[in-house]
Amino acid sequence: MMQDRRSNCGFTSKLSTLKIVDSLAEITRYKDRELLERSLAVTLSELFLSDEFRFYRITTVDVDGIIELRLSLLTYANQGVVISEHQIHEHELPPWLLELVTQAVETQALVERHDPENAATHILYPVYTKHDDIYGMLLHKSKQASFESRRLIYGLLRIYSNYLSLLEESHRDTLTNLLNREILDSEITKIIVSNAQYHDYAAAKRRRTLDGSHAWLCLLDVDHFKRINDEWGHLYGDEVLILLARQLENIFRKEDLLFRYGGEEFVALFRTFSCEDAQMVCERTRNTIAQYSFPGVGRVTISIGVAEITRQPGSSIVLGQADKALYYAKEHGRNQSCFYDNLLAQGLIEPQTINQSKSSIDFF
């Protein structure tokens, strides 16, 4: 009888180990951050069916010289059911959670809070990047938290963090360290899908109040870049691209996405509350670059084409619209920013169609 009990215990342990191995294989099969986070949430929920998990993204914001932490809920998992960020409307966080986050950041360790009313324990796990920067927080609510469960969750988060770092490296341009073109389409598609999910007036109004409903794709191109390479050499040309990338990082916010689109072209994805705000961002970008003195080369200007990301059929249409606006800027003097919708309203360009391909005209 004792032998049978030991066998069952061994079988249960083996089954748990196999389940964990399968979970690890599932987590590391994705190359998209959101799918990776969702897979992690599914894994945790399946391993701890009676527990709740919330995964938060943490960003820092400079408010009048004071660095503040901002949390946004990415995934929620409970009893095997996982809800993604596009379906979550949790915007106000309880004070006790903000206190826990501050404590976890300061101590760089997991922290706990017992909830006697619900006979549960809240455990907060900080998640760091490979550079030891705070990236996110996992909130685990459990009525039977054990040392073994804490160690397992901590280990899974380390695997997630390490794998995320590898993904980040693979998505970076080797010269400028900006995001590369490989993930641009997926990021545009996410915005299009998000916009489609907020199509009714009430939801759109709520979203605009909360985070600004206007998303923009800004396509930037260095003017006369071929001339720089011909006159100064490719090493100077590469240095211009590197320094330009650093300037763009200084101009745009941390939450904005910057890509090297190819050659001397760059893309910025950002949000504003209005078209006027977007125009101000683009003009500030253009002026900042125009006033910067590149070592050995001097002044360099850029032309900018901008398209609003709404509910287009696909990312190629958005890129095509921005490309049309950029082409117009190039043809009409360079060193300016042009918005696709404005040009279209003025009858200066033809509408971008689904079958139109990227312009092959040489701007140099």
Residues identified as active-site: 264
Pairing of the two strands 293-294 and 265-272? unpaired
Please say whether the beta carbons of 318 and 217 come within 8 A: yes
Q: Is 177 exposed, middle or buried (0-12, 13-18, 19+ CB in 10 A)?
A: middle
